[in-house]
Amino acid sequence: MKVHFQEFKNEIDTLVEFLTSDTWEFYGTPNPKPERIRASYENNYYTGDDCKTFWIISEDDIKVGTLRVYDLEDGDPLFDIRILSKCKGMGIGTIAVNWLVAYVFNNYSDKDRIEANTRQDNYAMRCVFHKCGFVKEAHHRKAWVGQDGIPYDAIGYGITKEDWQSGKVTPLNWNDFKC
């Protein structure tokens, strides 16, 4: 599927409709309430100097996802991505993450890496990270409590500008010391 990206511009009603139209299984709040979305918007969760949100739009001009990047002013940027359930498995995640990495590294010269986190059981997202050149950098046991109350492992990934520019992946040495 071909997609393009459009920066979110004060379309709060459209965002509320989009985010309440599906269940976001791997998020702390899988079914956000309109009031919470509006409050987050008022607190610059979606737009501002430190963050940007983009619509992921299909070739039919239908909004199929959102891509939010944050911590743009200090530290390493992080992001979250939401793709409608009916559009998953079409390669949109890989296209969107590759686009986001290029966007950050091309527009923020002070950024040398991008981070992301997901639950261990979010295999589709973990595959996207792998396809996009991200490296597993952390494994936090039972650190992500799901809506079901079950603690899941949280997995941290990162990509460096150097790896992105070279098209190579620098693996981590997980066994770098011995006792």
At 179 the pLDDT is 85
Q: What is the pLDDT of residues 50-74, one digit of tens each?
A: 999 999 999 999 999 999 999 999 8
152 confidence band (pLDDT: 50, 70, 90)? very high
**What pLDDT is attached to residue 170?**
94
pLDDT single digits (tens) 70-111: 999 988 999 999 999 999 999 999 999 999 999 999 999 999
Burial of 47 (0-12, 13-18, 19+ CB in 10 A): middle
Residue 1 has pLDDT above 90, yes or no: no
pLDDT at 174 over 90: no
140 pLDDT exceeds 90? Answer: yes
The reported pTM is 0.94
Per-residue model confidence (pLDDT) at position 146: 86
The model's confidence at residue 121, banded by pLDDT at 50, 70 and 90, is very high
Per-residue pLDDT tens over the stretch 3-50:
999 999 989 999 999 999 999 999 988 999 999 999 999 999 999 889
Q: Are 134 and 76 in contact (CB under 8 A)?
A: no
DSSP state string for 136-156? EEEEEEEEEE-TTS-EEEEEE
pLDDT of residue 83: 98
Other Cβ atoms within 10 Å of 3 Cβ, number: 20
Looking at residue 132, its pLDDT comes to 98
Question: If you write DSSP's letter for every residue of the chain in order, what string do you get?
Answer: --EEEEE--S-HHHHHHHHTSS--TTSSSSS--HHHHHHHHHTTSSSSSSEEEEEEEETTS-EEEEEEEE--SSSS-EEEEEE-GGGTTSSHHHHHHHHHHHHHHHH-TT--EEEEEEETT-HHHHHHHHHTT-EEEEEEEEEEE-TTS-EEEEEEEEEEHHHHHHT------TT----
Q: Distance (Å, rounded) from C-alpha 79 to C-alpha 72?
A: 10
What is the model's pLDDT at position 70? 97
Give the C-alpha separation, 136 to 16, whole Å.
33
Instruction: Map out the domains of the chain with their CATH numbers.
Output: 3-166 (3.40.630.30)
